[in-house]
Amino acid sequence: MAMSVNTNSGAMIALQSLSKTNRTMEAVQLRITTGLRVNGPKDDAATFAIAQNMRGDIAGMGALRTTLGLGQSTVNVAIDAGMAISNLLIEMKAKSVQASQAGLDSDSYSALQNEFISLRAQLTTIAETAEFNGKNLITAGATDLEVLSTIEGSTITVAAQSLDPTTLLIHTATLATANSASQARLILDTAITSVANSLASLGSVSKRVDIQAAFTGKLMDIMKQGVGNLVDADLAEESANLQAIQIKQQLGVQALAIANSSPQSILALFQ
């Protein structure tokens, strides 16, 4: 083979090998830095596309969990308020039973009536303020709540349960006399049953929302694990690769140095 100082084939080969090793080193360092085996479409186009689609689904489920959480809170506020209303109705019934006793003096009827009215006013306050995120499920004229349950758009319908005095038909009840108190007791019995049924309805749908929220959380975890299996780097393997590539890099530098020194042997021919 001809010897030349202008063209050093050995140096060019050594440089190409060293450049390849350096590129491999950069790729390994990137995987170690990010913890990802697939950082972009250049690394593995098909896997990257699948992972991106799954990440989109995970992001959608994250937003879905927020929506379900809002639905849970709205229903829970309605349930707590409904239980408070139920307890007030029971107290009002007790007052009506007490007032049903014939022969009470006017002061006793007046005192019982004032307590009865106070309890009813508190019931109204609870019904009107049982609101979360601008939604009230138990006030007069309340509308149903649609809770998004899947990223495809399915919803869980929470039926409104109006628990105000007018809807419960206790707004005109009075304890002015034993007879009116007896009538009030009958109305309150019906109202207590109605509120109990409403609470049962709210409790049933609340459990459904809770189950869907828990399932969504588990599904998110599974999908995150799936994305990790696709794109995460095996850091133990990458660490071993890094050690081997560093040795190759050092050897490449030495090989290039040797190749670059070869033309110096030509000087011996002219001595």
Is 70 within 8 Å of 271 (Cβ atoms)?
A: no
Which CATH number is correct for 57-230, 3.40.50.300, 1.10.10.410, 3.60.15.10, 1.20.1330.10?
Answer: 1.20.1330.10
Q: What is the mean pLDDT of residues 188-197?
A: 96
d(CA 205, CA 214): 14
Segment 199-209, tens digit of pLDDT? 999 999 999 99
Q: What is the mean pLDDT of residues 167-192?
A: 93
Segment 79-117, tens digit of pLDDT? 999 999 999 999 999 999 999 888 788 888 899 999 999
Q: What percent of the chain has pLDDT over 70?
A: 94
Residue 157 host element (H or E): strand 155-158
So what's the pLDDT on residue 271?
A: 62
